[in-house]
């Protein structure tokens, strides 16, 4: 499995922030439009949340060796006082300003594509993403003892 940065480099598009942002929006927004609980939200609502995730580097896309998007993982950190709200309403209840680089780590969304012939099943993608991306974030607790 390869990351979006690696895919952009291999295709000669480089790893510029504008190419990265455009690719993330282009690949994540259509999946959010089909999301069972988030499809009714406005395009602007989704756009602002993705922009914040990009700003905090808390969204990762992964591709198979053919360059097909296998899915993405999106997480954030939330202050302790927001955890009760998260448990009650889920991550869709968070305002864009609640997404943070400090606090406990929470999954916002995880989507794995079931592409015919894709050598990476959803459970392998989840393991890879958690180990490589989220694991790095969790290795560095932000002012709190690990649970």
List, for residues 90-126, the tens digit of each pLDDT value: 888 888 988 888 888 888 888 876 555 554 445 454 5
Domain count, the chain: 1
Domain carrying residue 54: 2-138
| Helix or strand run (H / E) with residue 51 | helix 43-56
Look-up: residue for tokens 């916002």? 108
- Give 130's pLDDT tier (boundaries 50, 70, 90): low
**Residue 76 within any structural domain of the chain:** yes
Beta strands (DSSP E) in 14-68 are: 59-63
**145 belongs to a structural domain:** no
Q: Are 129 and 108 in contact (CB under 8 A)?
A: no
> Does residue 147 lie within any of the structural domains?
no
Q: What is the pTM of this model?
A: 0.70
Domain-embedded: residue 29: yes
Q: How confident is the model at residue 145 (pLDDT cuts 50, 70, 90)?
A: very low
């Amino acid at each position: 499995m390869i990351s979006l940065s690696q895919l952009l480099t291999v295709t000669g598009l480089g790893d510029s922030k504008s190419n990265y942002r455009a690719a993330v929006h282009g690949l994540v927004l259509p999946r959010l439009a089909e999301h069972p609980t988030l499809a009714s939200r406005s395009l602007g609502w989704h756009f602002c949340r993705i922009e914040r995730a990009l700003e905090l580097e808390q969204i990762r896309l992964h591709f198979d060796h053919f360059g097909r998007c296998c899915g993405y993982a999106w997480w954030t950190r939330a202050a302790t006082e927001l955890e009760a709200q998260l448990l009650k309403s889920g991550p869709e209840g968070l305002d864009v300003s609640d997404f943070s680089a400090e606090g406990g780590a929470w999954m916002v969304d995880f989507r794995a594509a079931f592409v015919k012939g894709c050598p990476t099943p959803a459970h392998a993608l989840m393991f890879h993403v958690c180990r490589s991306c989220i694991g790095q974030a969790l290795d560095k607790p932000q002012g709190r003892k690990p649970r």
